[in-house]
Amino acid sequence: MWCNMVVNNKDNITKIGLLFYICSIVGYIYEMILCLIDNGKFLSHGILFGPWLPIYGTGAVLIFTLRKYRKKPLIIFMLSFLLSGILEWICGYLLLNFLNIRLWDYRGWFLNLNGFVCFLSAFIFGCGGIFIIYFLLPVIEKIIRNCKRKNLILFLSGLSLLFSIDLICTIFKLN
């Protein structure tokens, strides 16, 4: 039993790592597409240099914790809606109050809270929770089953190194 628990924990760490980076990158692409639709041109979002928005990855990791409700899609949607909305509000508040940066602004949008979160964004993230639990996690689990653990560890280590360098460069840029 202990051996199975260790294997499952390693798989979960790998799932979380893949989920974080996939969703951070997909979030970046999603934001660029929204900007293209809104402004007619691609604009890079966030404060990092790389093509990732870690708020999306962090939200995905929070949603990962909801997988125990897999047989209850309405619960997954509602909790994803709530968790993502709280995450978006906290990040928006911290960025504005500690770094004097407002990366998004929902003031004027329906049911917004200080312009950091609105009903539509939370609704979209609720739908994202459904997508993560029912579609993305099974794909990630298939990748884990079909790839050598060593290759996955090397891949995630490389991404983590790049992400860490990006984070350090961003911190120096902001100071």
Could you read off the pLDDT of 47-56 as tens digits, one per residue?
Answer: 999 999 999 9
Helix axes 73-99, 119-131, angle to 10 degrees: 130
pTM across the whole model: 0.90
**Residue 69 confidence (pLDDT) above 50:** yes
Handedness of CA 82, 83, 86, 92 (dihedral sign): negative
Q: How would residue 44 be classed by pLDDT, with cut points 50, 70 and 90?
A: confident
* Secondary structure letter of residue 46 according to DSSP: S
Residue 159 — pLDDT band, cuts 50, 70, 90? very high
- What pLDDT does residue 81 have? 98
